[in-house]
Every structure is written in structure tokens, then in C-alpha cells.
Amino acid sequence: MNKNLKRLFIIFISLSIAYGANNDGTVRIRAVGDIMLGTTTPDGFLRPENKGNILKYINPYLQDADLTIGNLEGTLCDSGSTDKCEPDSLDCYLFRMPERYGQDLKQAGFDFLSLANNHVGDFGSYCVDRSEYLLDSLGIGWSGRPGTFSTRKVNGVKVAFVAFHSGGNCNSSLNLPLAIDFVSDLKAEHDLVIVSVHGGAEGLAAMTLPDSMEIYMGEKRGNMREFAHELIDAGADLILGHGPHIARAMEVYQGKLIAYSLANFATYGRFNLQADRRFGAILELELTKSGVMTRAEIISTEQKYWGVPFLDREHRFTFLVDSLSQADLPGSGARFQPTGRLILEK
């Protein structure tokens, strides 16, 4: 083989290895908790247009993944009506984001969004329909209503995404037998199944993870430990929790990661961001086609200026999660290095 042919052969092998590394059956995921980019009701809770969208400072950390996932707390809708409370009331929480904000979600790189939460129905079925239509038009997969899921093939891996909530008109986290069957059926047709769940009580008092049915404002919010364990046993490869609006423990169960609450990520204007409520995270992890978790890391974030997310270089969400995991889940709680890297058992 002459020098030129040998050089071409080496280049070919190098490129094959490089491209193969991006198509080797491993999926890199970045996931966040609650997203509410601003609401049209009541007036005064949208970020001024001249300041740009609230995700612009954090976008590079969302876009750099094979799959980016979050919970859309509310709807994308320019009309609709509500009978939940008086539209101008500051004591009642209604979340309706302008339809143009869908482009901000697309620009951020979101691939899957949960529409299974307690604010998706704030402005009626029309706005739910409209949100589903807009996300479809943007190429963003979603799950929310009973029986709905989304699917995508990445690096040769077929991935299913399904979202649950304890409230009405969603895949129910309270109907455990039905949820188990749903996940089991999805696993039979997909390599990986990612479960999103909006559940658990809310607020600072809800940081501790109970092993029982949680009640908030008179509503059943599910037993999150039982739910997560049962769905992993049914075939789920990753559980992404949100809803408490605060950090909770993480757990490694049967080799699968459970994030019991990824907390507030980008929640503009109407959310209480005092004390530890302002800290959130981007959870990054890699899963092989067979569901093996090869690495995981918490990228801590902090919301400022009414709810604009920034990178938190003090890693305070990591500290909260590591402490809670030790306290609430001795023996199975996920442990993290101070910089956010999950310590995997050998």
C-alpha cells in the first residue's frame, strides 16, 4: 500500500470511529423540571420583548443533547376561556403562554415535553388541543392525555416518552395497574422508555420524600416511590419527576435513575422562587440501547429576575439532592460528587 492510499485508509478508519461514536446505540439525554415561560393572565407577567426570551442564557446547555426533555406547565394558546377563577385574580394561578413562545422551546432544542400536569387544563380543551397542534408543527413530541405517548429514533435507538399526572384528563399516576400495562406495552415496542411524572406534594415542606400516598390541597398526588419502582419493574429506563417545585432525592433502583423532583427550571413571574425554590437543574445522562446508564450528572441552575434560569456554578441543587438522597433513601439514594457527577457503583 503506497503512502497516499495508506493515509486515505487511516482517515477513513478515523472518520468511521468518530461517526460511530455518535451512532453507537448510546443516547445522551438532558432533562429539566417545570417550564412556564410567562403567562398572559393576569396582565404583567410576560418578559419584556426587548429583553429576549427567558431561556436565552441557558440554551447552550439544553441544545447539546440527543434528547432534551421538560414539563410544560400550562399551555401555548392565544385564546381559550377559564372557569377556574377570576382571570385578573392574583390569588389564583392560571398559566397560558403566548403561542409564539413555542419557537423559544424549539430554539432551546426540546424534543419531548410533558403536557400531563395540573395547569394544562387552565383554559379549557381548546387550549389543550392548540398546544398539541403547535408542538406537532414544531416537531416537538408530547404526552399528556390518556393513552398518549411520543416516540423517536436516535442513534439507532427507538425511544418512547410517556407522561403521567395525578389529576384528570391525563395518563393517570393514580391508576397504577393501567400505568404498568402502558409502560410494559411501550417497552415491548421500544428499546428505551422514559417516564415523566408530575406528582407529589408541593413547597419547602415537601422536600422530604415519603413512602406513602401524598395529599396536597385535599388532592391525592400519588405515592411516588411506589409509582417509580413499579414502572421500572414494568420496563421504564428512566423516571423524571417534577411537581413539588423543590428539590427531592434521587435514587438508583435496579440500575435505573429516579429523579423524584427536578424542581423549577424556567418559571417566570408567578412562581415563588424564594429560598431553595429558585434552584433547579439540567439532569444529563447517557443510556445504552439496552438501558444501561453509563454516566449521569446534575448541572445546577438558578432562577433570577422573576424566573430567568442561569447556570449555578456553586452547584447548590447538587448539594440539596445529595443531602436529601442520603437522608431519605439510605442504601439506594444516588450519591453525587460536589461538581454534580453521579457516583456509579462498580
Asked if 90 and 27 touch (Cβ cutoff 8 Å), the reply is no
Q: What is d(CA 74, CA 215) in angstroms, rounded to the nearest whole number?
A: 21
- Kindly indicate the confidence band of residue 84, based on its pLDDT and cuts at 50, 70 and 90: confident
Q: Is 222's pLDDT higher than 90?
A: yes
Domains of the chain: 27-328 (3.60.21.10)
64 pLDDT more than 70: yes
In this predicted model, what pLDDT tens digit does every residue of 135-161 receive, in sequence order? 999 999 999 999 999 999 999 999 999
pLDDT confidence bin for 83, thresholds 50/70/90:
confident
Side-by-side strand order, sheet with 157-165: 150-154, 157-165, 192-198, 238-242, 256-259, 250-253
Q: Are 298 and 321 in contact (CB under 8 A)?
A: yes
- Over residues 92-137, the pLDDT tens digits come to 889 899 999 999 999 999 999 999 999 999 899 999 999 999 999 9
**pLDDT average, residue stretch 256-274:** 95
Alpha carbons 264 and 281: distance in angstroms, whole number: 8
The span from the first CA to the last CA of the chain, in angstroms, equals 44
3-state SS, one letter per residue, for 57-115: CCHHHHHCCCEEEEEECCEECCCCCCCCCCCCCCCCCCCEECHHHHHHHHHHCCCEEEC
